[in-house]
Amino acid sequence: MREQAEKWTVGRLLNWTADFFKGKCIESPLLDAQILLAKAMEIKRIELYTNFSSEPTEEQRTIFREFVKRRGAGEPAAYLVGSKEFYSIPFMVNSNVLIPRPETEQLVLETLDRLKILDARKNNCNDNSELSGSISFCDVGTGSGAIAVAIAKNYSRELKSLLITAIDISPEALGVAKINAESAGVLRQINFVQSDLFEQVDDNVKFDVIVSNPPYVSSVEYDNLPVNIKNYEPKLALLAGETGTEIIAKLTPQAAKRIKTGGYLLMEISPMIADKVKKILEDNGWQNIQILHDGRIACCENS
């Protein structure tokens, strides 16, 4: 009986690991334990629930122990298993890209709403109008490709009517984004461009919608980030500069030159810089500026 009780079953491993992660102040201890054990056993996380009394092999426990050690030291679970779900789509992630956050899904939702508005406008325009024809969409700082791929997968019209450009300064990030686009079946719908914002994009190209989740962390904020972010996620995609608005201040005038009449700019921002971002947008001629979702999204128009 004693020997049976001390076996390292799935249930016992999860309970012990969740308690260990709690002691490390990990935000989602049980979820992370499940994600890592499922990866070590090469099964789906939901399958753990039907295998609580089973005992993983020694090889699987060895892999799991290494995962637990690294997660306890701060390495994000998503990097350990190499994937993260975003907008119900699995995305490959590694240290070259930010881990997609649930709050960024709100940016996707807001973008899809604007695309529907433009779709309705275009259907009511004659062929000679700037608003007629295909809708052009640009994701600036695409990273893992999460926003561009989610938009491509969820846009309601035929994909050929949505022209998507995804920009990133990092060639390594673009490599990850292309893999994710291919995995999602939308690689042909997205044009990937290596560029620092719009610098390498043809001056004559204009877009109906420009979306960005730019770096918006200030120097002070960066110094105080949790270990799992500061020590593992790419600094280039996080740190904007001393105030946190430096990249946004560069992006907004460039975007103003690249947006079509009636088009939209949407950005994920920090609530702490929302007022500053609004002022930057006003100074660059953007209209109908809205700060949405508790200051996390800035939306404006080129009227």
Examine the domain organization and report whether 118 and 68 are in the same domain.
Answer: no
Nearest CA among 189, 192, 178 for reference residue 135? 189
Q: Clarify whether residues 108 and 68 are in a common domain.
A: no
Average pLDDT on 202-227 reads: 96
pLDDT of the residue at 127: 47
Q: In this predicted structure, what is the pLDDT of residue 301?
A: 96
Residue 236 has pLDDT above 50, yes or no: yes
Helix, strand, coil distribution of the chain in percent, nearest 5: 50, 20, 35
Task: Identify the pLDDT of residue 210.
Answer: 98
28 lies in some domain: yes
Task: Clarify whether residues 15 and 162 are in a common domain.
Answer: no
Exposure class string for 98-122: b at 16+ Cβ within 10 A, else e: bbbeeebbbbbebbeebbeebbeeb
Choose one of 81, 96, 128: the last residue of a domain. 81
For the entire predicted model, the pTM comes to: 0.92
Q: Out of 54-63, 113-122, 175-184, 204-213, pick the least confident.
A: 113-122
251 within 8 A of 240, measured Cβ to Cβ: no
Do residues 45 and 120 share a domain? no
Q: Is the pLDDT of residue 2 over 50?
A: no
Residue 209 has pLDDT above 50, yes or no: yes
| Mean pLDDT computed over 154-178 | 87
Q: In this structure, is residue 213 part of a structural domain?
A: yes
| Helix, strand or coil, per DSSP, at residue 262 | strand
CATH number of 212's domain: 3.40.50.150
Task: Identify whether residues 56 and 191 lie together within a single domain.
Answer: no
Residue 132 lies in a domain: yes
Same domain, 186 and 63: no
Residue 129: the pLDDT is 47
> Looking at the structure, do residues 108 and 76 belong to the same domain, yes or no?
no
Q: How many domains does the chain have?
A: 2
| Structural domain span for residue 20 | 2-81
Same domain? 148 vs 252 = yes
- Are residues 166 and 68 located together in one domain of the fold? no
206 and 263 within one domain? yes
What are the residues facing 300 on neighbouring strands? 265
In a domain, 52, yes or no: yes
Residue 158 has pLDDT above 70, yes or no: no
Is residue 98 included in any domain, yes or no?
A: no
157: pLDDT strictly greater than 60: no
Considering only residues 222 and 122, tell me which one the structure prediction assigns the higher pLDDT: 222
Among 49, 81, 113, where does a domain finish?
Answer: 81
Establish if 31 belongs to a structural domain: yes
Residue 92 falls inside a structural domain: no
Residue 94 belongs to some domain of the structure: no
Quick: pLDDT tens for 87-145. Answer: 999 999 999 999 999 999 999 999 999 999 998 887 776 544 455 568 999 999 999 99
Give yes or no: residues 284 and 140 share one domain.
Answer: yes
154 and 11 in one domain? Answer: no
How confident is the prediction for the chain on average, in pLDDT?
A: 93
- If one counts every other C-beta atom within 10 angstroms of the C-beta of residue 69, the result is 10
Cα dihedral value 154, 156, 159, 164, nearest 10 = -60
Q: Given this model, what pLDDT does residue 172 score?
A: 98
47: domain CATH number is 1.10.8.10
